[in-house]
Amino acid sequence: MHNVKFSYRMELQFSQPVWQHSFSLLAFPLRLPEQQIDYFKWSLQPDVTLQFQKDSFGNTIGVGRYDAAHTSFCYEMEGVARLHQQKREPEACLPVYRYPSAACQMTDQMQNFLKQCGAAQDDRLSYASYLMNQLYQMFRYETGSTSVSTTAGEAFAQGCGVCQDYAQILIALCRASGIAARYVAGIIAGEGVTHAWVEVYENGMWHGMDPTQNRLVDDGYLKLAQGRDYLDCRLNRGVFCGAAVQEQHVYVSLEEQQV
């Protein structure tokens, strides 16, 4: 078990004033048997009252609106959690995790890769790990090579990408092999930005895999959101009036806390 302190800061800067800014935030840590949240607080600038709701994937969404003109917007949160993967409990699998989603469609190139990997094994968890390893061997991490709108097929075709791309490609490969899989957005130690990984379903349980690092998820991973792909796990979404160009900066941290 790891006791950790975590924080997340998302700041938007607008090139000129905007108004009637409607937004939704997804950066609230999930409360799970394996992820006990002992302390949590959040703040917004400008100060806005949030309305909270749950989506169909179990994520907490904070929805708000700020009508007055403003040139910046900042959401911050921090907390303390106890992370213990061994405390996971059986969980039902939503049917949508078994089928292709908008950003996780198979292409002919990906189908050929899957054929080269060989037939799926009876032990689906081991086969998912094998697919992760094969992807890690052929795919290259390269910042700036993709965007948030890049699909699994587009990233696979160019052979490089970031954690979002690794995750969406592995999800597509798993689902095409009959293995239910979902996308996870969160925070891990040693990174200044958010991270993405995968969970695959076997024997009534979800099992975390990090294809970017070719490893199983351990007690150093804090979950913020989960869904079919990145599109379900966007931590910040918004629309506003005005012709401004926006610039986003995200800062995160997760460190082990001595008890």
Q: What pLDDT is recorded for position 164? A: 98
Please compute the mean of the pLDDT values over residues 134-144 and round it to a whole number: 96
Does this model's pTM top 0.85? My answer is: yes
Q: In this predicted structure, what is the pLDDT of residue 55?
A: 96
Q: Quick one: average pLDDT of 234-258? A: 93
The three-state (H, E, C) secondary structure of the chain, written as one string: CEEEEEEEEEEEEEEEEEEEEEEEECCCCCCECCEEEEEEEEEEECCCCCEEEECCCCCEEEEEEECCCEEEEEEEEEEEEEECHHHCCCCCCCHHHHCCCCCCCCCHHHHHHHHHHCCCCCCHHHHHHHHHHHHHHHCEECCCCCCCCCCHHHHHHHCEECHHHHHHHHHHHHHHCCCCEEEEEEEECCCCCCEEEEEEEECCEEEEEECCCCEECCCCEEEEEEECCHHHCCCEEEEEECCCCEEEEEEEEEEECCC
* CATH number of the domain bearing residue 14: 2.60.40.2250
Average pLDDT, the chain: 95
Residues 73-100, mean pLDDT to the nearest whole number = 96
Same domain, 29 and 145: no
Same domain, 153 and 70: no
- Model confidence at 120, in pLDDT bands (50, 70, 90)? confident
For residues 84-113, average pLDDT: 97
Q: Are residues 218 and 124 in the same domain?
A: yes
**Do 157 and 135 sit in the same domain of this protein?**
yes
Q: What is the pLDDT of residue 252?
A: 96
Residues 42 and 115 in one domain: no
Give me the CATH number covering residue 222.
3.10.620.30
Q: Give the pLDDT band (50/70/90) at residue 190.
A: confident
**Same domain as 221, residue 116:** yes
Supply the pLDDT for residue 259: 61
Dihedrals phi, psi of 211, to nearest 5 degrees: -70, -25
Amino acid 1: pLDDT: 84
Q: Indicate whether 133 and 218 sit together in one domain.
A: yes
Task: Find the mean pLDDT for residues 99-119.
Answer: 95
List, for residues 204-232, the tens digit of each pLDDT value: 999 999 999 999 999 999 999 999 999 99
Same domain, 214 and 191: yes
pLDDT at 139 over 70: yes
Same domain flag for 239 and 186: no
What's the average model confidence in pLDDT over 108-114?
97
Question: Is the predicted pLDDT of residue 243 greater than 70, yes or no?
Answer: yes
Q: Is the pLDDT of residue 108 over 80?
A: yes
The answer to whether residues 129 and 192 belong to one domain is yes
> Count of domains in the chain?
2
Structural domain span for residue 19: 2-85+235-256
Whether a cis peptide bond, with omega within 30° of 0, leads into 100 is no
Over residues 110-136, mean pLDDT? 92
Read off the pLDDT band of 118 (50, 70, 90).
confident
Whether 102 and 209 share a structural domain:
yes
Q: Are residues 97 and 216 in the same domain?
A: yes
